[in-house]
Structures are given as structure tokens and as C-alpha cells.
Amino acid sequence: MKALICGVAGQDGSYLAQLLLEKGYEVVGTSRDAMISSFANLDRLGIRRDVFTTSMAINDFRSVLNVVQNIAPDEIYNLAGQTSVGLSFEQPVESMESIAGGTLNMLEVIRFVNRPIRFYNAGSSECFGDTVEVAADEMTPFQPRSPYAVAKASAHWMVRNYREAYGIFACSGILFNHESPLRPERFVTQKIVSAASRIKQGSGEVLVLGNIDIWRDWGWSADYVDAMWRILQQGLPDDFIVATGRTESLEYFVARTFDFFSLNWRDHVEFEKGLFRPSDIRISMANPAKARDYLAWSAQTDVDGVIRKMCEATLEG
């Protein structure tokens, strides 16, 4: 089996490459410019030499077509495109082009080459908007509240449309928040963990955050890529929520992180209104029962395990 991972350099792409290699796949990964990309996460996992990498611009149809024709993959995992909710408010056009436009290019290429390629699309819990206190399942209506979420919602419906109209084996995994030490510091969880670790070592810095009265379902990236693979092994294509089923506040995440380092977070954290998003989701809750029932998958690491593993990684250097 040969898999093409679009966006292999990221957190999920790197863990997915590791998983597929362990399963005996030939893995090809793409980056916008593979000649200058560092692929540091692949190096960190010790698999850089095992993954063939190539350049591909997902928002360029011809680029996507050339790669798919040359590689001839059995499975394609679309993890590319803009990944930051906050940044999408500053770059809404890029968000729409790379996420929605990129997904459309992938689907059109699969239709054009007319091969039995199985396609996984990275969906997002952001599409649901604020779930209030009702856990979202696969039938919950989308109410996106950011350019990123609007783009993800559009990509989701295109996957559904191509599946129904053209019989393409196309699926979306609607992933709730998932973290790991491979996250860059522009993501708030890694920002918190890294700052707490440095403060413990005597940096004397203050961690500046925005709104911590938000509630999320946090899981572990390496768990979630297993769900991605399982989604493409089903007899029929379908969409699945991937989550732990447990929701905690960002304040909880901050407190438990500082507890790990024997620190009181209130002594080291300040807040800045400028870090608040123009619109944000207060509560995001998930019901992952369908994944459990149909994929035989459930999260192995909850938020406490995520915090512990990310903090331990800072001690390992």
C-alpha cells in the first residue's frame, strides 16, 4: 500500500507517517517546497529517511494532479492548508483557498485520474461553533464562527458531495482539539507548557494569555491519526467525530500544567484583551460514540495525560 500525506511536516502528518510506516506502507509526504522544508517533526520521530517527500501546492490544480499521477497512491490524507483559527481572521482569503480550494482540487484530481483512491479529509470541530452544553455528534448542524471554520465546513460538504455524486471513497474526520510536543508555540497549549517549563527553570517571565474561560475536548495527536487510518479501512466511506468525550476549561489546562512543575499559575500569568479573538467558541463538547461503535476506536489519552506527556517532553529536551 502507498499513502500520500499532504502536509506531512505538521504534527498530525508526522505521527500519521510513523503509524503507516509501522503498518508497512510506502509513505510519500508533501510540502509546499520540499527542497527547503526542514521536516523537523519527521526527524524528531526518527523517520525522516523513511518518508519520500515532494513539493506540492494544494491550491494549484496542476501541482496536485502531477503529484497524484506520479505517485499513484492507494490512499490520500489531506492534512494540508491553514491550521490556525486565530490567523484565519488575519488571512481569511488564504484560509479559504488553502482549505476549501485545496480540498476541491484534491477531489477533482481523484475524479480526473479515475483510480480507486481512498481520500481522507481533515475536518474540524470548529465547524460546530459553540455547542453550549450539548455534545456534538455527526448529525449536529454546523455553525462556524471563524474564517477557518467556514473553510473547513465548505471542505466537509464538498467531500460529502463528491462521495455522493461521483462515488469517490471520500471521508472526513471531524477532529476535536488534539495536541502533542510537536505543536509549535503559536498554539496556546504548547505556549502554556513551554512557558511553565521555562519559568520552572528560572526564566522569570510572565505568561500572557487571552480568554481562559473556554472549554475544549483535548486529545493526543498520536491517538487521533490511528482513527484517520481506521476511517479509510471501512467498507463504505463515511464521516466520523474523533474526540475523547471529556471537556475541560483552558483554565484547567493552565492550572494542571503549572501543577506539574509545582508552580501556582496565578503567580505567573497575566491577561491581555488584545489576545481575544473577534469571535470565539466558549464550549466545545463531543460525542465520539460512532467512532467507538464503527471504528472500534476510542481515545487512549485524556486531557490529564496530554498535559503530562507534553510537560514530560520539555524535560527530555
Look at residue 160 and give its three-state secondary structure: helix
Q: What is the C-alpha to C-alpha distance for residues 194 and 207, in angstroms, rounded to an integer?
A: 10
Whether 124 sits among the annotated catalytic residues: the reply is yes
DSSP 4-31: EEETTTSHHHHHHHHHHHHTT-EEEEEE
C-alpha to C-alpha distance for 240 and 228, rounded to whole angstroms: 9
User: Has 148 been annotated as catalytic?
Assistant: yes
Residue 126 DSSP label: G
Which amino acid does the sequence have at 225? V
The SS3 call for residue 203 is coil
Q: Which of 124, 125, 146, 172 is catalytic?
A: 124
- List 126, 154, 162, 194, catalytic entry: 126
CA–CA gap between residue 71 and residue 38 (Å, rounded): 22
Per the DSSP assignment, residues forming a β-bridge with 179 are 220
Residue 22 C-alpha cell reads as: 509501522
Of these residues, 25, 120, 148, 224, which one is catalytic? 148
Q: Residue 112 and residue 286: Cα distance in Å, rounded? A: 36
Q: Are 284 and 130 in contact (CB under 8 A)?
A: yes
CB of 95 within 8 A of CB of 73?
no
Residue 31 falls in the annotated catalytic set: no
Q: Catalytic residue numbers?
A: 124, 126, 148
